[in-house]
Amino acid sequence: MKNIGIWMDKEKAYIIIVKENNEEMITIFSEIEDYRIHGGSGTKIKGGPQDVVQDSKFLEREKHQFKSYFKKIIPLIKDSDAIVIYGPAEAGEKFKKELDENYYSLSKKVKAVLKSDSLTENQTKALIRDYYKNNKSHILR
C-alpha cells in the first residue's frame, strides 16, 4: 500500500510517501516566476506616456510554468494507491484539474483536496500521516 500526500503552493511541493510504518519526503521546486505588474505612467507629467501592461502574456507564461511544475510531480506519484493534496492557495486545485484533464487514472486516486497553511516539513509529514490514519475507510484496498 503506497499512500501519498502532497502539500503544494506556487513555490514548492512536498511529496510524502507513506508506507506501513515509515514515510519518505521529496521536495520539488516549481520555478514559477513571481511577477508583479509594473504599469502606469512612466512620467510624472499628467497625460504623459503610459507603459502597456501585458497581463495576458504573464498569465500565459505562468500557466505553462504550472504545467512544467506538475510534470515534475506526476512520475513520483504514478504508482500510488491513494493521494491527498493540501495547500494554502489555488495550486492544489490547479493540480487536481490537471489530473482530471490529462491523467485520469491518477485523478481517480485523489481522495481529497484540502486547504492548509504553510507548514514545516515535520508538520507536513504529521498532517499526511494523520489523514491516512484517521480516514482509513476512504483508502483503496
Domain boundaries of the chain, sorted by first residue: 3-31+54-138
C-alpha cell at 112: 481529497
Burial class (CB in 10 A: 0-12, 13-18, 19+), 58: middle
Tens digit of pLDDT for each residue in 60-117? 888 999 999 999 999 999 999 999 999 887 899 999 999 999 999 999 999 999 998 8
According to CATH, the topology of domain 3-31+54-138 is Nucleotidyltransferase; domain 5 (3.30.420)
For residue 138, is pLDDT > 70?
no
pLDDT band at 12 (very low <50, low <70, confident <90, very high): very high
